[in-house]
Structure 1
């Protein structure tokens, strides 16, 4: 099946919400995401509209989706911009960087190369930033999430040697790719 990997559009907030809710029902969701299904489903439509609008604008966050020929979204990844000294999750950024979050591929699409394609889009977007240029791309994951660790190594991330002070997740490990 051929997928189109593209940026989310602001008017697609309902699809973005539905895919996020599906991700939060994955068996690994409690160690993969910093939000529960119950928290997300309680959010009003305005929350999802604003979140998707910001991701569509692509200034401080961008979201990519994998769209099947029938229109179904089978995967997503988001990228947060972290300026030197700022922190969105974990410790302050030592350099200009981006932070990959919200990685999800539906179970039936796993093993198809879809996750790698989503990462290619996220990394290309990160490395193409010019104002200021990104020096590294990082991500955090729970040390028990071996499925995630295998994927991250496959797409080029390596351990930074750091753990990350993430609220409610003392087992968070940091991986990075440097330019």
Structure 2
């Protein structure tokens, strides 16, 4: 299988971003891995996806990375850098130097080929360049596949747990230095 190329999304990638998100939300683990449903995402207008792509391409506090094999998008991760002292998507107050990884997905046919490693490498490099020293993510306590993948990437449980709309989530972190 050809190597994947990882890059930050372009501001013009709204339609492709939508298609990959809908694919991800169709995954059997999506119900515990994402904070929205396929139907909710599908109902959003194209202007929403265009604005999301522009923000993920140009912002200094959010970036989305995609992996592509030829013309096909096969994976993604989004990095959010919350304002220090502000609440994240679960209402937790975040400190300076913290970046959050969300919306992680690799197409089933491309799993186990290093694409997740490449996505997180690019994401970590960008977060470091923004002044972050810690990368944090949340994973559902019942999502053993994702937990194993994140452990392989150096993430460790912080002891933080939260009950979200999809059930119990555990916080994982890894140093970026």
TM-score by length of 2: 0.94
Residue 76 of structure 1 aligns to a residue in which SS?
strand
Residue 36 of structure 2 aligns to a residue in which SS?
coil
Residue 34, structure 1, aligned to residue 35, structure 2: yes
Shift of 1:165: 4.9
1:78 aligned residue:
78
Shift of 1:136: 1.4
1:119 aligned residue:
120
1:142 aligned residue:
140
CA displacement 1:25-76 (0-9 Å, x = unmatched): 000000000000000000001110111110010322100011112x100111
Instruction: Provide runs of 4+ in structure 1 moved above 3 Å.
Output: none
CA displacement 1:71-111 (0-9 Å, x = unmatched): 10011110001122112322111333110001101010001
1:163 aligned residue:
161
Question: Structure 1 unaligned runs (5+)?
Answer: none
Distance in structure 1 (CA, Å) of the matches to 2:5 and 2:114: 13
TM-score by length of 1: 0.93
Residue 20 of structure 2 aligns to a residue in which SS?
helix
Question: Structure 2 unaligned runs (5+)?
Answer: none
Report if the CA contact (8 A) 1:82-1:96 is conserved.
no
Report if the CA contact (8 A) 1:160-1:175 is conserved.
yes
Distance in structure 2 (CA, Å) of the matches to 1:164 and 1:64: 26
